[in-house]
Amino acid sequence: MLREHIAEILVHEDELRQRVRDLGAEISQAYEGRKPLLVAVLKGSVIFMADLMRALTVPHAIDFMATSSYGAATESSGVVRILKDLDEPIEGKDVLIVEDIIDSGNTLHYLRGLLLARNPASLRIVSLLSKPARRQVDVPVDWIGFEIPDKFVVGYGLDFAELYRDLPFIGVLKEEYYRHLLGEED
Ligand code: IMP
Ligand code: MG
């Protein structure tokens, strides 16, 4: 689980559990009498999605999209590419995008435009985390789980070079492991 690679825990397991439960209640209320389609952005949001689904009291369907990620680097290029599109059309549906984190805002800005062009009945966004200090483009996010400082975080689905997704909390990676994983030496 690589727990010893973590410098600091920003959001503990019990805080995540409680917040996801509360988000589930709020989102259920907002979609009362409807059947939203939850669209998770792979891969970072899978754990959040799985927990959020079970906190919802409204019937719902799920689908997945994948966008190009940073790879091993931790900075956004501003360029977003679709690696996997939705299985079904979303015209006339109540779509809820489920994201792990909004950082520069580029990914959600692009996805929002792309999905709005397909004429859903409504389009809303929930993001587990937000780093407001890093925003380059403004995106209307309907629900945010936690605002966090400008630090690179892992755990609860979020990775660095595909590792650490299984950690049950949101933590900051020790700097020595960035360097190690990037293959840098000093
Ligand atoms: P944005 O396009 O800059 O808003 O970045 C969004 C995507 O970058 C997220 O969906 C994450 O996959 C990834 N990302 C941004 N910040 C972090 C972080 O601190 N840890 C892990 N992944 C991150
Ligand atoms: Mg992501």
Per the residue annotation, which of 51, 94, 100, 103 is the catalytic one?
A: 103
pLDDT digits (tens, 9 = 90+) for 151-173: 999 999 999 999 999 999 999 99
Residue of minimum CA distance from atom 22 in ligand 1: 158
pLDDT digits (tens, 9 = 90+) for 109-136: 999 999 999 999 999 999 999 999 999 9
Predicted pLDDT at 141: 98
CATH of 14-148, one of 3.40.50.2020, 3.40.50.880, 3.40.605.10, 3.40.1440.10: 3.40.50.2020
What is the sign, positive or negative, of the torsion defined by CA atoms of 72, 76, 77, 80? positive
C-beta of 51 in contact with ligand 1 (< 6 A): no
C-beta of 171 in contact with ligand 1 (< 6 A): no
Predicted pLDDT at 71: 47
pTM: 0.93
Give the position, in ligand 1's atom list, of the atom nearest the Cα of 106.
Answer: 2
C-beta of 103 in contact with ligand 1 (< 6 A): yes
Q: Give the pair of three-digit tokens for residue 81.
A: 């590419």
> Does residue 103 have an active-site annotation?
yes
CA neighbor of 67 nearest in space, from 41, 36, 102, 100: 41
Predicted pLDDT at 66: 95
Q: Tell me the C-alpha distance between 137 and 5, whole Å.
A: 32
Distance of CA 139 from the midpoint of ligand 2 (Å): 15
How sure is the predictor about 75, in pLDDT bands with cuts at 50, 70 and 90? low
